[in-house]
A and B are shown apart, each in its own frame.
Chain A
């Protein structure tokens, strides 16, 4: 069974810092990996999607890398802002035939960026 772990569980930083959020998964048979953001009381906002054949994806101040063979992904946030405060979730899409489409989520990293 796929297990997804996110480190750290919580992070509190001053504005302007560059951040690294880590995600690891136990089964390398993945189809793709997504990073989501969840604000309190809200749904999930998709940030970046990396296909299993890709190494990284970038969107604005966000960059996500994927090392499928070692079961790791990293989300980099450059020049953090208070508006980045949220919970960041990593989700892996299984490539195991009938379970394709099922996302396995980590427990998230709760980020607080203070002014």
Chain B
């Protein structure tokens, strides 16, 4: 399809619980990017993949966050032992080129609320 599909749209977790978010990139797009939007309009880069390989994970809080992109499966972002500060909208984007010369296509996001 021609859209980046993110599931679920909304996720509520109690503090300390695990959260897992999914992203299906556009077919043919080799690059996947995860961003976290906290507060209003403050986007933070988390991690990027080329196919199943990580090529930039410098934005990831590694203690509790992990991500994977496996062949023939949606990409996933997992947060172990969620904290209140993890409440945010998590966006996934995909692109055929790392440079984004053809643009980046964003999904509609997963809103995570930690209570």
Contact = CB atoms under 8 A, between A and B. Distances in A.
A43 B100 contact: no
Interface in B56-87: 56, 58-59
Contact of A93 (B55, B58, B91, B99): B99
Contacts, number: 74
Given A51-B101, A101-B48, A44 B91 contact: yes
B82 to A, nearest CB: 22
Say whether chain A's binding surface is mostly helix, strand, loop, or mixed: strand
Interface size class of B (residues with CB under 8 A): 20 to 34
Interface string A88-107: 01010100001111111111
Contact of B100 (A42, A49, A99, A108): A49
A46 interface: yes
Contacts of A49: 100-101, 103
Interface of B: 4, 31, 33, 35, 40-43, 45, 48, 55-56, 58-59, 91, 93, 95, 98-101, 103-109
13 contacts: A31-B99, A32-B100, A38-B41, A46-B103, A93-B99, A100-B99, A101-B56, A101-B95, A102-B48, A102-B56, A103-B100, A105-B35, A106-B41
